[in-house]
Amino acid sequence: MTKPMAEIQAEFDRIAQFSGEGGWDHNNHYHDFLLKHVTPGSDEVLEIGCGTGAFSRRLAQRAKHVLALDLSPEMIRIAKERSTEYRNIDFEVADVLQWEFPAERYDAIASIATLHHLPFDEMLLKMKRALRPGGVLLVLDLFQGIENFGDLARSAIAIPMSALYKLAKNGHVQDSLEARAAWDAHGQDDHYLRIPEVRRIGHEILPGAQITQHLFWRYSLVWKRS
């Protein structure tokens, strides 16, 4: 973990005011990919780092109950405002390093662009223990740097593709100056694992996990508990 949690909370309280509803980004591009691993009709689903609740609302369409946690009170406030029609979501402000994970409770646990703020191995263990037998763990996060020519080629494709998606789906390529300033301030001290580190830790803790490097500077980890 690279920053105190209070500092991360303050940064995301600031970022929350620029979190528009329905716009395309590098995270929600992979929502459909993650959702296909969640069994329709699941009883209990947990999301860690829910932000303004976009993925929580998608999960709520496949599960009987969703518990969505985030460190930022402002993110949770906006998530509740945008989710009034979803009676099966509970949003809570929580520091997941201090939160008590119940044992074998959830049919699915998801985390998007959150674990790079936290001790990766510790969080995988906590989530693993909280899954019911047959439950699925879903992680989407950022990774560090360019390791080889394949990464360089992938990034060269991703840059113009990202601009095209933003223009087509959001009507603009760049966010406002205020939004970019908030994200830039947040990202200055962010630390991301390299893909080999993700694979090593992931496979040690979650044998058989499917770890995939994706186009828009993201990796996914999918693991089903036996």
| Residue 197 domain flag | yes
| Residue 166 domain flag | no
Tell me how many domains the chain contains. 1
Confidence (pLDDT) at 128: 98
Convert the pLDDT of each residue in 166-183 to its tens digit.
999 888 888 777 777 776
Confidence (pLDDT) at 183: 65
CA separation for the pair 68, 91 (Å, rounded) = 5
Q: Which domain holds residue 40?
A: 5-146+176-224
Confidence (pLDDT) at 1: 47
CATH at residue 94: 3.40.50.150
Convert the pLDDT of each residue in 42-97 to its tens digit.
999 999 999 999 999 999 999 999 999 999 999 999 999 999 999 999 999 999 99
| Residue 151 domain flag | no
| Residue 164 domain flag | no
| Residue 167 domain flag | no
| Residue 158 domain flag | no
| Residue 120 domain flag | yes
| Residue 181 domain flag | yes
